[in-house]
Structure 1
Amino acid sequence: MFLKIFIITRLLAQSIWAAQTVLRFGCSQIVVERLDPLVNPGTNHSPHVHQVTGGNAFSASVASSDVFKIANCTTCSFSEDLSNYWNANLYFKARNGTYKRVPQVPNRGLTGEVGGMTVYYTSPYDGSKVTAFKPGFQMLAGHAEQRVPGGVTQWNAICFRCYNAKNFGGENQAPCSDKTVDSVSLSTKACPGGICTNIRFPTCWDGVNWDSADHLSHVSYPASKASEDNGPCPSTHPVKLPQLMFEVIWDTTSFNDKSLWPTDGSQPFVFSMGDNTGYGQHGDYIFGWKDNVLQKAMEVGCFGASCSALKTQSFSDANKCAVPDEVKEPIDGWISTLPGMSM
C-alpha cells in the first residue's frame, strides 16, 4: 500500500513539475550608458549608468506599444524576444578614490553572451495559468534611492550571493531563498568567485493598465509570502503574471586585493547611483515579445533555453545586434567620479 501511495505521489509531482514553465536564457549587453526611458524618458543623460540588454529599439525614448514592431534584432537567445531589460551597474571604488566598472559575465551553462544577464520567466509551481505581458507593458523592480532595509526586500525581491568559487552561478539554487548564503545587501567580505545579483519583479497585475506613472502601481508582489513562494495576488491586482527575474553575475575577482580596499575595512563596491549598501539595486523592463509567443511558451511547460514554441538564435548572431551610444562619456577604465554622480 505504501509503495502504491509513493508511486502515485511521484507521478503527481512529476505532472505538476512538467506543467511549470521555466524559461531561462541569456541576453548580452546591447549598450552600457546613462539612459533610462522609463524613469527619465526623453532625457539624455539619465542620472546613473545602466547595463541594457535585449532589442535594438532601446533609446532615450521608447514607444509605449508594440516595441517588437520597432526593433529588428535582439541580444537575447530567443530571437522573438525584443524586450529590453536593464539594471544599475556595479563599480569598484579603490582606496585612492577612483572607480572602475565591474565586468559582468555569463552564468554557468550559458555561453556566448557578452556581459549581460540571465533572464527567467516562470509560472507557479502548481502549474496554474499565468497571463503573459502585453504590448506596452512596462514596470520596475526595486527603488534606486533605497539605502536601508525594507521596500521590496520583504518579498525577497532583491538579493545577493557571494560565490566562494569562480563558477558564476547555475548551481540549481533557488536565489534569494537561502538565508544562510543570500543577503539583501552587498557582502562586507571579498567574494572569491564574484557576486550574483537577483532582481525579482512583481507577479500580480491590476488587469487594466499596461503601465502607471511610477511604473509600479499597476503591479504588485503577492499578498503574502515571498516572491518565490507564488503567494496569492491581492484583490487590487488579481491577475497572475509570469515571475520575471534577472540574474546578473559580477566578476569581482580582480578587485579582491585587500590593499586596494578602504583602510577602515568597509566593502568597496558601489552601484552606479552611488549606493554602497545594495538596497538600491533595481531593474527595469519593457515588454517586446513578438505577437503572442510568450503566452504560448508559458502554456507548454518549456524548461531552460530551448522551447518548442519559440525560435532561438546563436550568440554569434545575437551579439551583432547593437544600438549607437547616445551618451558620450567615459564609463570604463579608472575614472575619478561615477558618471552623473558627484561622489
Structure 2
Amino acid sequence: MKRSGFLLAGLGLLATPVAALLRFGCARSSIQRLDPLVNPGLNPSPHLHQIVGGNSFNITMDPTKHDLASLSTCTSCQFTEDFSNYWTAVLFFRARNGTLKRVPQLAQSGMEGTQGGMVVYYMSDALFDTAQKSSVTAFKPGFRMLVGDVSFRDRNQSRAFRQLSYTCMDSQASRSPETVGFPAGPCKLGIMANHRFPTCWDGVNLDSPNHQDHVAYPESGTFESGGPCPSTHPVHLPQLMLETVWDTSAFNNKADWPTDNSQPFVWSSGDQNGYSSHADYLFGWQGDSLQKAMDGHTYVSAPMLKTQSIAEQNKCVVKDMVNENYDGWLPQLPGDNPM
C-alpha cells in the first residue's frame, strides 16, 4: 500500500518527530494457523502463530478496508488505544520418541496472570537510555511490516537481519548473552525470543510486496548506536521490539532430549535451529494516541494512555477460524511441516 503524500504536511500525513519509550504487556489473543500479512485469504496458513492485540484479527485484513482501531472491540494489550496486531511462530518441544508438544508462554515479572503473550516496546533510543532524546516519526495508519524469513535455516542467511536473537533465561532478570540460534543447552526459566524491527522508512510506502522493502536498517551500526538511516529510507521510526518468553522449564530433563544430544526445540514452521525467527506487525493505534504518548518524552510510563487490568486483557480473544488441535503430544507439527 502506498501513501505518496508523506511530505505534504497540510494533508496531515507528516507527524512531528517524537521521543519516548513505551513498554507494555499483551496477553495472547489467539493461537491458530492464520497469517493475513503473508498469506491473506488462506485458511489455514502453512504454520501456527501466536497472536496478540486487537480482536479484529482475521484471515484477510486488506489495509484499504480493514482499520484495526475501528473494527476491533477490544485489545489484549495493556494500553486500550493499541489495537495493533503482533504475531510470531509457535515453539514446540521435540521429544526423543519424535512426538511434539507446544511450549507454553511465560508472563514477565510484573505481568503475572497474563495468558501467554509478549512484551512490546516502542523506543526512541537504546532500551536503557532513560533520556530518550532522539527524534523518531510514529507509524502511520495502514503501516505493516515483517522481520525475519521463515525459510532461513543457517547462520549465514540469518545475517540479513539484525538483532533477531534468543536469551537463555536463568531468571526473569536475564537479558544476556544473546544468541542467533536456539540455545544449545537447557534454560532454567525459559527461552526469550527477541524481535527487533527495522527502524528506517522510505517515507512513502506503508507496505511493500515482501513487507520489508519499505523499511531498512541504519546505514551503519544499529538503532541503539545511533546509526544514520540510508538515503533511500531517510525517516527514523521508533524501534519496535517484541519479547516472548517460552517456558521451557518443563522440558529440561536431557534424558527426554534427542539421542544425539541436539537441542530439542523447533519452530512451528519446522525450523530446528532458530534461524527462521520472524515476526509480523500491523499498526492499529487509535487516532494519534501513539503520537501523543511518544510526544510525552516518558520512560516506560505513559500517563496520557488508558490502561486495563490483566483480567480484561485476558478476556480479549480472537475466534478460532481453523479448528485444529495444537495441544497435547502430537505426532507432527500442525500443517505437517517437515523438520
TM-score of the superposed pair, with normalisation by structure 1: 0.88
Superposed CA deviations along residues 90-127 of structure 1, whole A, max 9, x for unmatched, are 00000111000000011123233110000000002561
Partner of 1:203 in structure 2? 199
Partner of 1:8 in structure 2? none
Alpha-carbon distance in 1 for matches of 2:334, 2:312: 31
Out of 185, 190, 197, the residue aligned to residue 194 of structure 1 is 190
Contact 1:38–1:284, Cα closer than 8 Å, also in 2: yes
After TM superposition, the structure 1 = structure 2 runs for residues 132-151 of structure 1, keeping only pairs within 5 Å, are 132-151=138-157
- DSSP-derived class of the 1:319 partner: helix
- DSSP-derived class of the 2:241 partner: strand
Q: Structure 1 residues 152, 121: CA separation in 2 closer, same or farther (over 3 Å shift)?
A: farther
Contact 2:19–2:136, Cα closer than 8 Å, also in 1: no
Partner of 1:84 in structure 2? 85
Structure 1: which amino acid aligns with 2:62? Answer: A
Contact 1:162–1:196, Cα closer than 8 Å, also in 2: yes
Partner of 1:52 in structure 2? 51
Q: What is the alpha-carbon root mean square deviation over aligned residues?
A: 1.6
Contact 2:79–2:308, Cα closer than 8 Å, also in 1: yes
Partner of 1:301 in structure 2? 297
Contact 1:153–1:184, Cα closer than 8 Å, also in 2: no
% identical aligned pairs: 51
Name the stretch that deviates more: 220-229 or 234-243.
Answer: 220-229
Alpha-carbon distance in 2 for matches of 1:157, 1:151: 13
1:296: how far off?
Answer: 1.3
Partner of 1:101 in structure 2? 102
Structure 2: which amino acid aligns with 1:271? Answer: W
Contact 1:106–1:117, Cα closer than 8 Å, also in 2: yes
Superposed CA deviations along residues 187-212 of structure 1, whole A, max 9, x for unmatched, are 11111121111000010000000001
Alpha-carbon distance in 2 for matches of 1:227, 1:97: 41
TM-score of the superposed pair, with normalisation by structure 2: 0.89
| 2:172 matches 1:168 | yes
1:317: how far off?
Answer: 1.2
Alpha-carbon distance in 2 for matches of 1:26, 1:153: 29
Superposed CA deviations along residues 124-154 of structure 1, whole A, max 9, x for unmatched, are 2561221111111000011111111245646
Partner of 2:330 in structure 1? 335
- State the number of aligned residues: 314
Partner of 1:157 in structure 2? 163
Superposed CA deviations along residues 259-285 of structure 1, whole A, max 9, x for unmatched, are 110111100000000001111010000
1:22: how far off?
Answer: 1.5
Alpha-carbon distance in 2 for matches of 1:153, 1:335: 33
Alpha-carbon distance in 2 for matches of 1:214, 1:205: 14
Alpha-carbon distance in 2 for matches of 1:239, 1:154: 21
- DSSP-derived class of the 1:105 partner: coil
Q: Structure 1 residues 93, 280: CA separation in 2 closer, same or farther (over 3 Å shift)?
A: same
Partner of 1:262 in structure 2? 258
Structure 2: which amino acid aligns with 1:30? Answer: S
| 2:305 matches 1:310 | yes
